Amino acid sequence: MTTVDLNPLSPLPFLLVMEALSNIFVKAGEAGLFKGFKTPNNGPKISHLFYADDALILGERDKDSMLNVARFLRIFYMCSGLKLNLHKSNLVGLGVEDWEINEIAKVIGCEMDNIPLTYLGITVGTNMNKISNWNPVIEVFDKMLSLWKSKTLSIGGGLL
């Protein structure tokens, strides 16, 4: 069995495999092995979010749950051959002492990170009421719009 990064070579097989990983977290939640994050106002529990080849795993502050997540990811690797790149992975704790997060991160094999952090190019954990905190998002849109705009200009308009 070869190991590969979580980079999809073909979208459909990759989606099927990620659906299996999602089901691992759903079944683990039902069995009480992992507790997701409870949203306010009787909202749903969220244990994981997937976006393309990115995974965000959310859970309660429980050492056993975090160690179970490491076990789930090992099982996922053994079944699918897709190995999580722990060098790109971070463990973040809210309301948890840094030493506790660092200890668990060492067991899992990843790095500890702090809030605010950048996820998918957006800063998470800062006060988004401040206009200056939106600058990275605005810069991305400016860049994308300027590329799009340059492609739609005529040769004469592009020379100005």
Q: Going by C-beta distance under 8 Å and a sequence separation of 6 or more, which residues neighbour residue 119? A: 56
107-129 per-position pLDDT tens digit = 778 888 888 877 777 777 777 78
49-98 per-position pLDDT tens digit = 888 777 888 887 777 888 888 888 888 888 888 888 888 888 888 778 88
C-alpha closest to that of 63 among 33, 85, 87, 27: 33
Domain edges within the chain:
11-114, 125-160
Contact present, 93 and 101 (Cβ < 8 Å): yes
